[in-house]
Amino acid sequence: MKKIFEVALGIVTSIGGFLEIGSLTTAAQAGALFGFQLIWAIALGGLCIIFLVEMSGRFAAVSHHTIPAAIRERFGFNFFVAPMIGFILVTLLVLAAEIGGVCIALELVTGIAFQWWALPVAFLIWLLIWKGTFSVIEKGASLLGLVTLCFVVGAYWLYPPWNDVATGLVPSLPAKDEARYWFIAVSILGASITPYLMFFYSSGAIEDKWDESYLGTNRAVAGLGMSFGSAISMAVLVVSAIVFMPRGIQVDHYDQVALILTPAFGYWGFILFAASLGIACFGAAQEISLEIAYFIAQAFGWNWGEDQKPRDAARFSLVYTVTIFAGALLVLVGIDPLKLTIFSMALTAATLPLSIMPFLILMNDKRYVGEHRNGIISNVVVTLIIILACVLAVVTIPLQIFGG
Amino acid sequence: MAIKRALTLTILLLLFLEGCGSPRDKATKEIKTIQSWAAAARMTAEAYVAGAAPKPYASDTMAATAQALEKEMSAIQSSIPDEPRAHIAAQTESLRRQVEETKAAIDASDRARVQQQMGQLSSVEDALAQILKGYGDTTR
Protein backbone atom coordinates (compact mmCIF):
# COMPACT_ATOMS: atom_id res chain seq x y z
CA MET A 1 0.00 0.00 0.00
CA LYS A 2 2.84 2.35 0.94
CA LYS A 3 4.54 1.61 -2.40
CA ILE A 4 1.34 2.30 -4.35
CA PHE A 5 0.97 5.60 -2.53
CA GLU A 6 4.61 6.47 -3.30
CA VAL A 7 4.15 5.66 -6.98
CA ALA A 8 0.93 7.70 -7.17
CA LEU A 9 2.52 10.66 -5.37
CA GLY A 10 5.61 10.40 -7.59
CA ILE A 11 3.49 10.45 -10.75
CA VAL A 12 1.33 13.32 -9.51
CA THR A 13 4.38 15.41 -8.55
CA SER A 14 6.02 14.65 -11.92
CA ILE A 15 2.90 15.84 -13.74
CA GLY A 16 2.51 18.94 -11.58
CA GLY A 17 6.20 19.77 -11.84
CA PHE A 18 6.62 19.11 -15.56
CA LEU A 19 5.46 22.36 -17.08
CA GLU A 20 7.84 25.28 -16.67
CA ILE A 21 8.60 28.43 -18.57
CA GLY A 22 10.51 26.67 -21.36
CA SER A 23 7.92 24.05 -22.22
CA LEU A 24 5.07 26.55 -21.87
CA THR A 25 6.65 29.26 -24.03
CA THR A 26 8.07 27.04 -26.76
CA ALA A 27 4.79 25.11 -27.08
CA ALA A 28 2.76 28.34 -27.23
CA GLN A 29 5.04 29.81 -29.92
CA ALA A 30 5.02 26.57 -31.89
CA GLY A 31 1.22 26.40 -31.88
CA ALA A 32 0.80 30.08 -32.78
CA LEU A 33 3.22 29.93 -35.72
CA PHE A 34 2.94 26.40 -37.07
CA GLY A 35 -0.38 25.04 -35.77
CA PHE A 36 -0.17 21.37 -34.80
CA GLN A 37 2.88 20.74 -37.00
CA LEU A 38 5.45 20.66 -34.16
CA ILE A 39 3.70 18.22 -31.81
CA TRP A 40 6.25 15.63 -32.89
CA ALA A 41 9.04 17.67 -31.25
CA ILE A 42 7.26 17.51 -27.87
CA ALA A 43 6.68 13.77 -28.31
CA LEU A 44 10.34 13.19 -29.22
CA GLY A 45 11.58 15.28 -26.28
CA GLY A 46 9.13 13.50 -23.97
CA LEU A 47 10.36 10.09 -25.11
CA CYS A 48 13.97 11.10 -24.47
CA ILE A 49 13.28 12.53 -21.00
CA ILE A 50 11.37 9.35 -20.02
CA PHE A 51 14.48 7.31 -20.80
CA LEU A 52 16.83 9.79 -19.11
CA VAL A 53 14.80 10.20 -15.92
CA GLU A 54 14.36 6.43 -15.61
CA MET A 55 18.13 5.99 -16.07
CA SER A 56 19.02 8.66 -13.51
CA GLY A 57 16.68 7.13 -10.91
CA ARG A 58 18.03 3.64 -11.66
CA PHE A 59 21.60 4.91 -11.42
CA ALA A 60 21.01 6.54 -8.02
CA ALA A 61 19.07 3.56 -6.63
CA VAL A 62 21.65 0.95 -7.71
CA SER A 63 24.99 2.78 -7.38
CA HIS A 64 24.04 5.14 -4.50
CA HIS A 65 26.09 7.75 -6.36
CA THR A 66 24.87 11.09 -7.63
CA ILE A 67 25.57 11.65 -11.32
CA PRO A 68 28.06 14.56 -10.95
CA ALA A 69 30.06 12.72 -8.27
CA ALA A 70 30.20 9.60 -10.43
CA ILE A 71 31.23 11.54 -13.56
CA ARG A 72 34.07 13.17 -11.64
CA GLU A 73 35.13 9.83 -10.12
CA ARG A 74 34.97 7.96 -13.43
CA PHE A 75 36.52 10.55 -15.78
CA GLY A 76 38.65 12.67 -13.45
CA PHE A 77 38.26 16.30 -12.47
CA ASN A 78 39.96 17.77 -15.58
CA PHE A 79 37.42 16.11 -17.87
CA PHE A 80 34.61 17.16 -15.59
CA VAL A 81 35.39 20.91 -15.73
CA ALA A 82 33.98 21.53 -19.24
CA PRO A 83 30.58 19.85 -18.69
CA MET A 84 30.37 21.50 -15.27
CA ILE A 85 30.95 25.04 -16.58
CA GLY A 86 28.63 24.47 -19.56
CA PHE A 87 25.89 23.05 -17.36
CA ILE A 88 26.13 25.80 -14.74
CA LEU A 89 26.11 28.69 -17.25
CA VAL A 90 23.18 27.37 -19.27
CA THR A 91 21.23 26.36 -16.16
CA LEU A 92 21.77 29.82 -14.67
CA LEU A 93 20.14 31.32 -17.78
CA VAL A 94 17.25 28.87 -17.41
CA LEU A 95 16.93 29.88 -13.74
CA ALA A 96 16.79 33.55 -14.74
CA ALA A 97 14.07 32.69 -17.26
CA GLU A 98 12.06 30.86 -14.55
CA ILE A 99 12.38 33.78 -12.12
CA GLY A 100 11.33 36.02 -15.02
CA GLY A 101 8.26 33.79 -15.52
CA VAL A 102 7.17 34.25 -11.90
CA CYS A 103 7.70 38.02 -12.24
CA ILE A 104 5.65 38.15 -15.45
CA ALA A 105 2.81 36.25 -13.74
CA LEU A 106 2.87 38.83 -10.94
CA GLU A 107 2.95 41.68 -13.47
CA LEU A 108 -0.12 40.23 -15.19
CA VAL A 109 -2.20 40.24 -12.02
CA THR A 110 -0.90 43.44 -10.42
CA GLY A 111 0.11 45.64 -13.35
CA ILE A 112 3.48 46.34 -11.64
CA ALA A 113 6.42 45.92 -14.07
CA PHE A 114 8.12 42.52 -13.85
CA GLN A 115 11.57 43.89 -12.97
CA TRP A 116 10.25 45.16 -9.62
CA TRP A 117 9.35 41.61 -8.63
CA ALA A 118 12.79 40.08 -9.30
CA LEU A 119 14.27 40.62 -5.83
CA PRO A 120 11.14 39.79 -3.77
CA VAL A 121 10.65 36.61 -5.81
CA ALA A 122 14.33 35.66 -5.42
CA PHE A 123 14.09 36.26 -1.68
CA LEU A 124 10.99 34.06 -1.37
CA ILE A 125 12.64 31.25 -3.36
CA TRP A 126 15.74 31.51 -1.17
CA LEU A 127 13.73 31.61 2.07
CA LEU A 128 11.76 28.47 1.20
CA ILE A 129 14.92 26.57 0.30
CA TRP A 130 16.74 27.86 3.40
CA LYS A 131 13.90 26.94 5.78
CA GLY A 132 12.22 24.07 3.91
CA THR A 133 12.95 20.38 3.52
CA PHE A 134 13.50 18.43 0.30
CA SER A 135 10.01 16.98 0.53
CA VAL A 136 8.41 20.43 0.84
CA ILE A 137 10.39 21.78 -2.11
CA GLU A 138 9.77 18.73 -4.31
CA LYS A 139 6.13 18.06 -3.54
CA GLY A 140 4.79 21.48 -2.50
CA ALA A 141 5.19 23.32 -5.79
CA SER A 142 4.48 20.18 -7.83
CA LEU A 143 1.13 19.57 -6.16
CA LEU A 144 0.17 23.22 -6.67
CA GLY A 145 1.48 22.82 -10.23
CA LEU A 146 -1.44 20.50 -10.98
CA VAL A 147 -3.23 23.75 -11.86
CA THR A 148 -1.44 23.43 -15.23
CA LEU A 149 -3.89 20.63 -16.06
CA CYS A 150 -6.23 23.51 -17.00
CA PHE A 151 -4.47 23.47 -20.40
CA VAL A 152 -5.62 19.89 -20.96
CA VAL A 153 -9.20 20.81 -20.02
CA GLY A 154 -8.95 23.94 -22.21
CA ALA A 155 -7.70 21.92 -25.18
CA TYR A 156 -10.61 19.49 -24.80
CA TRP A 157 -13.20 22.30 -24.48
CA LEU A 158 -11.98 24.05 -27.63
CA TYR A 159 -12.79 21.00 -29.80
CA PRO A 160 -9.49 20.61 -31.66
CA PRO A 161 -9.50 18.75 -35.00
CA TRP A 162 -8.10 15.52 -33.56
CA ASN A 163 -7.04 14.21 -36.99
CA ASP A 164 -4.80 17.24 -37.51
CA VAL A 165 -3.45 16.90 -33.97
CA ALA A 166 -2.55 13.26 -34.65
CA THR A 167 -0.94 14.21 -37.99
CA GLY A 168 1.32 16.61 -36.06
CA LEU A 169 2.91 13.60 -34.36
CA VAL A 170 4.62 12.80 -37.66
CA PRO A 171 7.54 15.15 -38.46
CA SER A 172 6.93 17.23 -41.58
CA LEU A 173 8.60 20.13 -43.36
CA PRO A 174 7.08 23.61 -42.98
CA ALA A 175 5.59 25.44 -45.95
CA LYS A 176 7.31 28.70 -44.89
CA ASP A 177 9.85 30.14 -42.45
CA GLU A 178 12.03 27.00 -42.23
CA ALA A 179 14.72 28.60 -40.03
CA ARG A 180 12.18 29.59 -37.38
CA TYR A 181 10.48 26.20 -37.57
CA TRP A 182 13.70 24.33 -36.83
CA PHE A 183 14.77 26.82 -34.18
CA ILE A 184 11.47 26.34 -32.33
CA ALA A 185 11.80 22.56 -32.75
CA VAL A 186 15.23 22.79 -31.11
CA SER A 187 13.91 25.01 -28.33
CA ILE A 188 11.13 22.48 -27.66
CA LEU A 189 13.70 19.68 -27.45
CA GLY A 190 15.87 21.81 -25.13
CA ALA A 191 12.85 22.58 -22.96
CA SER A 192 11.85 18.91 -22.76
CA ILE A 193 15.28 17.32 -22.29
CA THR A 194 16.45 19.50 -19.43
CA PRO A 195 19.55 17.97 -17.78
CA TYR A 196 18.69 19.71 -14.51
CA LEU A 197 15.52 17.61 -14.31
CA MET A 198 17.37 14.28 -14.39
CA PHE A 199 20.16 15.50 -12.08
CA PHE A 200 17.57 16.81 -9.63
CA TYR A 201 15.64 13.54 -9.83
CA SER A 202 18.76 11.51 -9.06
CA SER A 203 19.77 13.81 -6.19
CA GLY A 204 16.23 13.42 -4.86
CA ALA A 205 16.55 9.64 -5.06
CA ILE A 206 19.70 9.85 -2.92
CA GLU A 207 18.02 12.29 -0.48
CA ASP A 208 15.07 9.86 -0.21
CA LYS A 209 17.55 6.94 0.28
CA TRP A 210 16.38 4.85 -2.68
CA ASP A 211 17.73 1.33 -3.16
CA GLU A 212 17.10 -1.44 -5.69
CA SER A 213 13.62 -2.07 -4.27
CA TYR A 214 12.62 1.30 -5.78
CA LEU A 215 13.37 0.32 -9.40
CA GLY A 216 9.71 -0.45 -10.14
CA THR A 217 8.57 2.80 -8.55
CA ASN A 218 11.21 4.63 -10.56
CA ARG A 219 10.06 3.07 -13.85
CA ALA A 220 6.41 3.94 -13.17
CA VAL A 221 7.15 7.51 -12.09
CA ALA A 222 9.47 8.17 -15.04
CA GLY A 223 7.21 6.54 -17.62
CA LEU A 224 3.79 7.74 -16.51
CA GLY A 225 4.80 11.04 -14.90
CA MET A 226 6.83 12.26 -17.89
CA SER A 227 4.23 11.00 -20.42
CA PHE A 228 1.41 12.89 -18.73
CA GLY A 229 3.72 15.90 -18.31
CA SER A 230 4.43 15.90 -22.05
CA ALA A 231 0.69 15.68 -22.65
CA ILE A 232 0.29 19.01 -20.80
CA SER A 233 2.90 20.60 -23.10
CA MET A 234 1.02 19.23 -26.10
CA ALA A 235 -2.20 20.69 -24.70
CA VAL A 236 -0.52 24.13 -24.51
CA LEU A 237 0.46 23.79 -28.18
CA VAL A 238 -3.03 22.67 -29.18
CA VAL A 239 -4.74 25.55 -27.32
CA SER A 240 -2.28 28.04 -28.81
CA ALA A 241 -2.84 26.68 -32.33
CA ILE A 242 -6.61 27.05 -31.93
CA VAL A 243 -6.59 30.46 -30.23
CA PHE A 244 -3.66 32.34 -31.78
CA MET A 245 -2.95 30.90 -35.21
CA PRO A 246 -6.27 31.84 -36.88
CA ARG A 247 -5.91 35.40 -35.50
CA GLY A 248 -2.33 35.70 -36.83
CA ILE A 249 -0.85 36.31 -33.36
CA GLN A 250 2.79 35.18 -33.38
CA VAL A 251 3.48 35.31 -29.59
CA ASP A 252 6.36 37.79 -29.56
CA HIS A 253 5.62 39.01 -26.04
CA TYR A 254 4.30 37.50 -22.80
CA ASP A 255 1.36 39.90 -22.79
CA GLN A 256 0.13 38.15 -25.92
CA VAL A 257 0.19 34.65 -24.38
CA ALA A 258 -1.79 35.73 -21.32
CA LEU A 259 -5.11 35.42 -23.14
CA ILE A 260 -4.46 31.85 -24.30
CA LEU A 261 -7.10 30.36 -21.98
CA THR A 262 -9.74 33.12 -22.10
CA PRO A 263 -11.62 31.65 -25.10
CA ALA A 264 -12.10 28.48 -23.04
CA PHE A 265 -12.63 29.87 -19.52
CA GLY A 266 -13.34 33.62 -19.85
CA TYR A 267 -11.95 35.73 -16.97
CA TRP A 268 -10.88 32.59 -15.08
CA GLY A 269 -8.75 31.69 -18.09
CA PHE A 270 -6.66 34.78 -17.44
CA ILE A 271 -6.31 33.92 -13.76
CA LEU A 272 -5.55 30.25 -14.52
CA PHE A 273 -2.83 31.25 -16.97
CA ALA A 274 -1.19 33.62 -14.48
CA ALA A 275 -1.43 30.97 -11.72
CA SER A 276 -0.03 28.23 -13.99
CA LEU A 277 2.86 30.42 -15.12
CA GLY A 278 3.66 31.67 -11.63
CA ILE A 279 3.43 28.34 -9.80
CA ALA A 280 5.16 26.28 -12.50
CA CYS A 281 8.05 28.74 -12.77
CA PHE A 282 8.34 29.14 -8.99
CA GLY A 283 8.62 25.38 -8.51
CA ALA A 284 11.12 25.07 -11.35
CA ALA A 285 13.20 27.99 -10.01
CA GLN A 286 13.45 26.27 -6.61
CA GLU A 287 14.50 22.98 -8.19
CA ILE A 288 17.04 24.60 -10.52
CA SER A 289 18.64 26.66 -7.71
CA LEU A 290 18.97 23.51 -5.64
CA GLU A 291 20.26 21.53 -8.61
CA ILE A 292 23.09 23.99 -9.31
CA ALA A 293 24.05 23.76 -5.63
CA TYR A 294 23.81 19.95 -5.70
CA PHE A 295 25.92 19.80 -8.84
CA ILE A 296 28.72 22.01 -7.55
CA ALA A 297 28.76 20.47 -4.05
CA GLN A 298 28.75 16.92 -5.43
CA ALA A 299 31.47 17.83 -7.94
CA PHE A 300 33.78 19.21 -5.26
CA GLY A 301 32.88 16.61 -2.64
CA TRP A 302 31.34 19.14 -0.23
CA ASN A 303 28.66 18.41 2.34
CA TRP A 304 25.27 18.70 0.67
CA GLY A 305 21.62 18.00 1.33
CA GLU A 306 18.47 20.09 1.46
CA ASP A 307 17.45 18.32 4.66
CA GLN A 308 20.65 19.41 6.42
CA LYS A 309 20.78 22.63 8.41
CA PRO A 310 22.42 25.44 6.36
CA ARG A 311 25.31 25.64 8.85
CA ASP A 312 26.04 21.91 8.36
CA ALA A 313 26.24 22.36 4.57
CA ALA A 314 27.50 25.94 4.48
CA ARG A 315 29.13 25.92 1.03
CA PHE A 316 26.11 24.16 -0.49
CA SER A 317 23.83 26.82 1.02
CA LEU A 318 26.12 29.60 -0.16
CA VAL A 319 25.99 28.30 -3.75
CA TYR A 320 22.19 28.34 -3.98
CA THR A 321 22.08 31.74 -2.29
CA VAL A 322 24.49 33.26 -4.83
CA THR A 323 22.81 31.44 -7.74
CA ILE A 324 19.30 32.66 -6.92
CA PHE A 325 20.35 36.29 -6.67
CA ALA A 326 22.54 36.05 -9.80
CA GLY A 327 19.51 34.75 -11.71
CA ALA A 328 17.35 37.55 -10.31
CA LEU A 329 19.96 40.11 -11.42
CA LEU A 330 19.48 39.11 -15.07
CA VAL A 331 15.74 39.79 -14.71
CA LEU A 332 16.36 43.01 -12.80
CA VAL A 333 18.44 44.51 -15.63
CA GLY A 334 15.40 44.08 -17.86
CA ILE A 335 16.39 41.30 -20.26
CA ASP A 336 13.25 40.30 -22.18
CA PRO A 337 12.12 37.09 -20.37
CA LEU A 338 10.59 35.64 -23.56
CA LYS A 339 13.81 35.97 -25.57
CA LEU A 340 15.85 34.75 -22.60
CA THR A 341 13.63 31.67 -22.36
CA ILE A 342 13.73 30.75 -26.03
CA PHE A 343 17.51 31.18 -26.29
CA SER A 344 18.28 29.40 -23.02
CA MET A 345 16.22 26.43 -24.25
CA ALA A 346 18.09 26.36 -27.57
CA LEU A 347 21.42 26.62 -25.70
CA THR A 348 20.32 23.75 -23.46
CA ALA A 349 19.83 21.66 -26.60
CA ALA A 350 23.25 22.69 -27.94
CA THR A 351 25.03 21.63 -24.75
CA LEU A 352 23.11 18.37 -24.22
CA PRO A 353 25.96 16.07 -25.30
CA LEU A 354 28.23 17.64 -22.65
CA SER A 355 25.88 16.57 -19.87
CA ILE A 356 24.32 13.43 -21.28
CA MET A 357 27.11 11.53 -23.05
CA PRO A 358 29.28 11.00 -19.91
CA PHE A 359 26.12 9.87 -18.11
CA LEU A 360 25.36 7.36 -20.85
CA ILE A 361 28.85 5.90 -20.43
CA LEU A 362 28.22 5.56 -16.69
CA MET A 363 24.91 3.83 -17.40
CA ASN A 364 26.84 1.16 -19.30
CA ASP A 365 29.54 0.72 -16.65
CA LYS A 366 29.14 -2.49 -14.65
CA ARG A 367 31.08 -1.03 -11.72
CA TYR A 368 28.25 1.42 -11.07
CA VAL A 369 25.07 -0.26 -12.21
CA GLY A 370 26.05 -3.94 -12.34
CA GLU A 371 23.34 -6.04 -13.97
CA HIS A 372 21.07 -2.98 -14.28
CA ARG A 373 23.08 -1.59 -17.22
CA ASN A 374 21.35 0.10 -20.14
CA GLY A 375 19.89 -1.96 -22.94
CA ILE A 376 20.66 -1.23 -26.57
CA ILE A 377 17.29 0.49 -27.19
CA SER A 378 17.71 3.14 -24.50
CA ASN A 379 21.32 3.81 -25.58
CA VAL A 380 20.41 4.22 -29.24
CA VAL A 381 17.24 6.29 -28.68
CA VAL A 382 18.88 8.75 -26.29
CA THR A 383 22.08 9.11 -28.36
CA LEU A 384 20.19 9.77 -31.60
CA ILE A 385 17.84 12.36 -30.06
CA ILE A 386 20.69 14.16 -28.28
CA ILE A 387 22.81 14.35 -31.43
CA LEU A 388 19.83 15.52 -33.50
CA ALA A 389 18.99 18.25 -30.98
CA CYS A 390 22.62 19.38 -30.76
CA VAL A 391 23.21 19.55 -34.53
CA LEU A 392 19.93 21.42 -35.10
CA ALA A 393 20.81 23.84 -32.30
CA VAL A 394 24.31 24.52 -33.64
CA VAL A 395 22.84 25.30 -37.07
CA THR A 396 19.79 27.32 -36.04
CA ILE A 397 21.13 29.45 -33.17
CA PRO A 398 23.43 31.53 -35.45
CA LEU A 399 20.57 31.79 -37.94
CA GLN A 400 18.33 33.33 -35.32
CA ILE A 401 21.00 35.64 -33.92
CA PHE A 402 22.46 36.95 -37.17
CA GLY A 403 19.61 36.24 -39.57
CA GLY A 404 17.11 38.14 -37.41
CA MET B 1 37.79 17.77 -38.33
CA ALA B 2 35.82 17.16 -41.56
CA ILE B 3 32.53 17.22 -39.64
CA LYS B 4 33.53 20.51 -38.00
CA ARG B 5 34.39 22.04 -41.39
CA ALA B 6 31.14 20.78 -42.97
CA LEU B 7 29.12 22.19 -40.08
CA THR B 8 30.86 25.59 -40.31
CA LEU B 9 30.23 25.71 -44.07
CA THR B 10 26.57 24.78 -43.59
CA ILE B 11 26.10 27.54 -41.03
CA LEU B 12 27.84 30.11 -43.25
CA LEU B 13 25.74 29.07 -46.24
CA LEU B 14 22.50 29.25 -44.27
CA LEU B 15 23.48 32.64 -42.85
CA PHE B 16 24.26 33.86 -46.36
CA LEU B 17 20.93 32.61 -47.67
CA GLU B 18 19.06 34.11 -44.71
CA GLY B 19 20.87 37.43 -45.13
CA CYS B 20 20.04 37.41 -48.84
CA GLY B 21 16.30 37.16 -48.16
CA SER B 22 14.63 39.28 -50.87
CA PRO B 23 13.24 42.73 -49.96
CA ARG B 24 9.84 41.19 -50.64
CA ASP B 25 10.45 38.53 -47.96
CA LYS B 26 11.62 41.15 -45.50
CA ALA B 27 8.57 43.30 -46.15
CA THR B 28 6.28 40.27 -45.75
CA LYS B 29 7.93 39.41 -42.44
CA GLU B 30 7.57 42.97 -41.13
CA ILE B 31 3.92 43.19 -42.16
CA LYS B 32 3.14 39.88 -40.45
CA THR B 33 4.78 41.09 -37.24
CA ILE B 34 2.75 44.31 -37.34
CA GLN B 35 -0.39 42.32 -38.13
CA SER B 36 0.33 40.08 -35.14
CA TRP B 37 0.52 43.11 -32.82
CA ALA B 38 -2.72 44.46 -34.29
CA ALA B 39 -4.50 41.14 -33.76
CA ALA B 40 -3.17 40.86 -30.19
CA ALA B 41 -4.36 44.40 -29.41
CA ARG B 42 -7.82 43.62 -30.78
CA MET B 43 -8.02 40.34 -28.84
CA THR B 44 -7.05 42.19 -25.65
CA ALA B 45 -9.67 44.87 -26.27
CA GLU B 46 -12.30 42.18 -26.90
CA ALA B 47 -11.32 40.37 -23.70
CA TYR B 48 -11.48 43.64 -21.74
CA VAL B 49 -14.94 44.49 -23.06
CA ALA B 50 -16.15 40.95 -22.31
CA GLY B 51 -14.75 41.23 -18.76
CA ALA B 52 -12.22 38.46 -19.43
CA ALA B 53 -9.14 40.64 -18.90
CA PRO B 54 -8.46 43.04 -16.01
CA LYS B 55 -7.91 46.74 -16.64
CA PRO B 56 -4.20 46.95 -15.60
CA TYR B 57 -3.32 44.09 -17.93
CA ALA B 58 -5.31 45.51 -20.86
CA SER B 59 -3.76 48.95 -20.38
CA ASP B 60 -0.20 47.55 -20.09
CA THR B 61 -0.69 45.43 -23.19
CA MET B 62 -1.77 48.47 -25.21
CA ALA B 63 1.26 50.40 -23.92
CA ALA B 64 3.59 47.49 -24.84
CA THR B 65 1.96 47.25 -28.27
CA ALA B 66 2.38 50.98 -28.96
CA GLN B 67 6.03 50.71 -27.91
CA ALA B 68 6.60 47.65 -30.12
CA LEU B 69 5.01 49.44 -33.08
CA GLU B 70 7.36 52.37 -32.59
CA LYS B 71 10.28 49.94 -32.85
CA GLU B 72 8.69 48.41 -35.94
CA MET B 73 8.64 51.88 -37.54
CA SER B 74 12.43 52.07 -37.37
CA ALA B 75 12.71 48.49 -38.65
CA ILE B 76 10.50 49.46 -41.61
CA GLN B 77 12.74 52.43 -42.41
CA SER B 78 15.87 50.29 -42.44
CA SER B 79 14.71 47.02 -44.02
CA ILE B 80 11.90 47.72 -46.46
CA PRO B 81 12.57 49.10 -49.95
CA ASP B 82 11.24 52.53 -51.00
CA GLU B 83 8.17 51.44 -52.94
CA PRO B 84 6.02 49.77 -50.25
CA ARG B 85 7.73 51.56 -47.34
CA ALA B 86 5.52 54.66 -47.21
CA HIS B 87 2.32 52.61 -47.38
CA ILE B 88 3.38 50.15 -44.65
CA ALA B 89 4.70 52.97 -42.45
CA ALA B 90 1.42 54.86 -42.78
CA GLN B 91 -0.60 51.80 -41.70
CA THR B 92 1.76 51.15 -38.81
CA GLU B 93 1.49 54.75 -37.62
CA SER B 94 -2.29 54.59 -37.93
CA LEU B 95 -2.32 51.36 -35.92
CA ARG B 96 -0.11 52.91 -33.24
CA ARG B 97 -2.52 55.82 -32.90
CA GLN B 98 -5.51 53.47 -32.63
CA VAL B 99 -3.73 51.44 -29.97
CA GLU B 100 -2.98 54.58 -27.97
CA GLU B 101 -6.60 55.67 -28.22
CA THR B 102 -7.71 52.22 -27.08
CA LYS B 103 -5.35 52.50 -24.11
CA ALA B 104 -6.86 55.90 -23.21
CA ALA B 105 -10.36 54.40 -23.40
CA ILE B 106 -9.33 51.49 -21.17
CA ASP B 107 -7.71 53.86 -18.67
CA ALA B 108 -10.98 55.82 -18.59
CA SER B 109 -12.93 52.52 -18.11
CA ASP B 110 -14.99 53.52 -21.17
CA ARG B 111 -16.01 50.12 -22.54
CA ALA B 112 -18.22 51.62 -25.27
CA ARG B 113 -15.25 53.56 -26.67
CA VAL B 114 -13.05 50.47 -26.46
CA GLN B 115 -15.69 48.61 -28.47
CA GLN B 116 -15.59 51.36 -31.12
CA GLN B 117 -11.79 51.15 -31.19
CA MET B 118 -12.05 47.41 -31.85
CA GLY B 119 -13.67 48.26 -35.16
CA GLN B 120 -10.83 50.67 -36.01
CA LEU B 121 -8.21 48.08 -35.11
CA SER B 122 -9.99 45.57 -37.29
CA SER B 123 -9.90 48.02 -40.24
CA VAL B 124 -6.14 48.47 -39.92
CA GLU B 125 -5.75 44.68 -39.75
CA ASP B 126 -7.74 44.38 -42.98
CA ALA B 127 -5.60 47.04 -44.63
CA LEU B 128 -2.45 45.14 -43.63
CA ALA B 129 -3.97 41.92 -44.97
CA GLN B 130 -4.58 43.72 -48.29
CA ILE B 131 -0.92 44.77 -48.46
CA LEU B 132 0.10 41.18 -47.73
CA LYS B 133 -2.20 39.94 -50.49
CA GLY B 134 -0.35 42.24 -52.85
CA TYR B 135 2.76 40.25 -51.94
CA GLY B 136 1.00 37.02 -52.78
CA ASP B 137 0.62 35.92 -49.15
CA THR B 138 -2.90 35.10 -48.09
CA THR B 139 -2.13 33.57 -44.71
CA ARG B 140 -2.99 35.56 -41.61
Tell me which chain A residue has its CA closest to the CA of residue B38.
Answer: A249
Tell me which chain B residue has its CA closest to the CA of residue A111.
Answer: B56
User: Quick check: A255 and B44 CB within 8 A?
Assistant: yes
User: Quick check: A249 and B40 CB within 8 A?
Assistant: yes
pLDDT one-digit tens code per residue, A348-401: 888 888 888 888 899 999 999 999 999 898 889 888 888 887 887 777 777 666
Nearest-angstrom CA–CA distance, A229 and A224? 8
pLDDT one-digit tens code per residue, A302-337: 888 878 888 888 999 999 999 999 999 999 988 888
| Res. A142: pLDDT tops 90 | no
Highest-pLDDT range among B10-14, B84-88, B119-123: B119-123
Confidence class of residue A274 from pLDDT cuts 50, 70 and 90?
A: very high
| Minimal Cβ distance to B15: which of A249, A394, A403 | A403
Surface of B (28-57) touching A: CB under 8 A:
32-33, 35-37, 39-40, 42-44, 47, 50-54, 56-57
Residues A392/A369, Cβ–Cβ less than 8 Å: no
Check residue A105 and give its pLDDT: 95
Tell me which chain B residue has its CA closest to the CA of residue A264.
Answer: B52
Q: What is the mean pLDDT of residues A208-227?
A: 89
Mutate to test the interface with A, among B5, B31, B43 (most CBs of A within 10 A): B43
Mutate to test the interface with A, among B7, B11, B121, B133 (most CBs of A within 10 A): B11
Whether A154 and chain B come into contact, CB under 8 Å, resolves to no
Surface of B (76-105) touching A: CB under 8 A:
none
Check residue A348 and give its pLDDT: 83
Q: Tell me the CA distances in angstroms from A109 to A9, A206, A258, one per residue in order.
A: 31, 39, 10
Whether A109 and chain B come into contact, CB under 8 Å, resolves to yes
Q: How far is B86 from chain A (nearest CA, A)?
A: 22
Nearest-angstrom CA–CA distance, A326 and A208? 29
Q: Tell me the residue ranges of DSSP E strands in A261-343.
A: none
Check residue A338 and give its pLDDT: 82
Buried/exposed A57-92: b ≥16 CB within 10 Å, e otherwise: bbbbbbbebbbbbbbbebeeeeebeebbebbbebbb
Whether B68 and chain A come into contact, CB under 8 Å, resolves to yes
Nearest-angstrom CA–CA distance, B19 and B3? 24
ipTM: 0.84
- Of residues B30 and A367, the one with the higher pLDDT is A367
User: Quick check: B56 and A111 CB within 8 A?
Assistant: yes
Using a CB-CB cut-off of 8 Å, the residues of chain A touching B64 are: 253, 255
Check residue A135 and give its pLDDT: 81
- Of residues B81 and B37, the one with the higher pLDDT is B37
Q: Return the percentage of chain A with pLDDT > 90, whole number.
A: 46
Q: What is the mean pLDDT of residues A95-121?
A: 93
Cα Rg of chain A (Å, integer):
20
Q: How far is B25 from chain A (nearest CA, A)?
A: 10
Q: Return the percentage of chain B with pLDDT > 70, whole number.
A: 74
* Least confident segment among A13-17, B107-111, B130-134: A13-17
Hey, is A20 helix, strand or coil?
coil
Whether B10 and chain A come into contact, CB under 8 Å, resolves to yes
Residues B77/B89, Cβ–Cβ less than 8 Å: yes
Whether B18 and chain A come into contact, CB under 8 Å, resolves to yes
Q: What is the mean pLDDT of residues A223-241?
A: 93
Highest-pLDDT range among A368-377, B4-13, B24-33: A368-377
User: Quick check: A259 and B47 CB within 8 A?
Assistant: yes
pLDDT one-digit tens code per residue, A28-80: 999 999 999 999 999 999 998 899 999 999 999 999 988 888 988 898 888 88
* Least confident segment among A167-171, A178-182, B95-99: A178-182
pTM of the predicted model, to two decimals? 0.89
Residues B45/A261, Cβ–Cβ less than 8 Å: no
Mutate to test the interface with B, among A249, A273, A392 (most CBs of B within 10 A): A249
**Average of per-residue pLDDT values in chain A:** 88
Whether A107 and chain B come into contact, CB under 8 Å, resolves to yes
Q: How far is A344 from chain B (nearest CA, A)?
A: 20
User: Quick check: A253 and B64 CB within 8 A?
Assistant: yes
Surface of A (258-287) touching B: CB under 8 A:
258-259, 262, 266-267, 269-270
* Of residues A261, A256, A37, the one with CA closest to residue A158: A261
pLDDT one-digit tens code per residue, A177-209: 888 898 899 889 888 888 888 888 888 888 888
Check residue A303 and give its pLDDT: 86
Instruction: Give alpha helix (H) positions in B1-140.
Output: 2-19, 23-49, 55-79, 82-107, 111-134
